[in-house]
Chains A and B, each alone.
Chain A
Amino acid sequence: MIEFLDTAANAGGVLTTIVAVVLAMVQPGRRKRRHRARVRAHVVRVSRYRSVDREVASWRVKAEIEAALAAEEARVKAERRVALALVFVPPGQRERYRQEWVNEMAQLSPQEAGVFALHLLLLAPQMGIMLALKRIFGRA
């Protein structure tokens, strides 16, 4: 500011100096007002973004929770199907097949595991008969 006034004074004109002094006195107030207005606008903008962000985040969280619940439900359904299929398997061999099927299902997505378990369940009576015949007669 002082440099500005010096420059104005050196430039000569009294009027120029007066204008410079007036400007120097007025400008900080203007600047403050402009600055405040800018800050206010920025705050409003940010708060708008934040509310949108919050909404998007809540949708995302909801979608993630729903997907996790659906996956868990599919997994439980697949496990139930395997448990039901194992009813047809002779007791002595149940553990082996349970472990084998559950381990295979662990490498699949919940939906794929559900289909895998459904096929097992549909074919379980056939498997059960084969295993039982082998156990009873020593042949299939």
Chain B
Amino acid sequence: MGEPRMTLATRAVLAAFLAGPADEHYGLQIADAAGLPGGTIYPILIRLEQCGWLESRWEDIDPQEEGRPQRRYYRLSERGAQAATTAMAKASDRKRRGFLAARPQGGAA
């Protein structure tokens, strides 16, 4: 399976997951952590799930007992945790190199 495009939003979502790689998060929680509007994270979650970086499951609760509906929880897969760390490092390295390349080189007067 391919690698997702590392857009700013994708990086923000991955950063939210990498803050606690073993933790499970539901949609609104991920959006909050990533600082993105709630409805905009689903294409990213779908993409990451299709790549095998994320796993999801329905919460096992009785909605009437809890007083709220079931949530769909997402967590990084083992492969996803490694791949996301590498991809994030690569993306930040690319960003740093881009910044350095944009700096004036100076030269002979």
The count of residues in chain A whose C-beta lies closer than 8 Å to any C-beta of chain B is: 27
A119 to B70, CA, bound (A): 22
A139 to B27, CA, bound (A): 23
Stretch of A20-28, A40-48, A53-61, A100-108 lying at the B interface = A100-108
Q: How large is the interface on B (under 10, 10 to 19, 20 to 34, 35 or more residues)?
A: 20 to 34
B residues in contact with A118, CB < 8 Å: 39
Total cross-chain contacts (CB, 8 A): 62
Q: Are A139 and B39 in contact (CB under 8 A)?
A: no
Contact of A130 among B37, B38, B50 (CB under 8 A): B50
Given A119-B37, A119-B39, A131-B46, are A140 and B27 also a contact pair (CB < 8 Å)? no
Q: Are B43 and A140 in contact (CB under 8 A)?
A: no
A residues in contact with B46, CB < 8 Å: 127, 130-131
Q: Are B68 and A106 in contact (CB under 8 A)?
A: yes
A residues in contact with B38, CB < 8 Å: 104, 108, 112, 115-116, 119
Q: Which residue of B has the minimal Cβ distance to A113?
A: B38
Of B26, B38, B72, most buried by chain A (CB within 10 Å of CB) is: B38
Given A127-B46, A140-B47, A140-B50, are A119 and B40 also a contact pair (CB < 8 Å)? yes
Given A140-B2, A140-B50, are A127 and B43 also a contact pair (CB < 8 Å)? yes
Q: Which residue of B has the minimal Cβ distance to A120?
A: B39
B residues in contact with A116, CB < 8 Å: 37-39
B residues in contact with A96, CB < 8 Å: 72
Give the A-binding residues of B (Cβ under 8 A). Answer: 1-2, 26-28, 37-40, 42-43, 46-47, 50-51, 68-72
Q: 5 A-B Cβ contacts within 8 A?
A: A104-B38, A106-B68, A116-B37, A116-B38, A123-B40
Give the B-binding residues of A (Cβ under 8 A). Answer: 96-97, 99-104, 106-108, 112, 115-120, 122-123, 126-127, 130-131, 134, 139-140
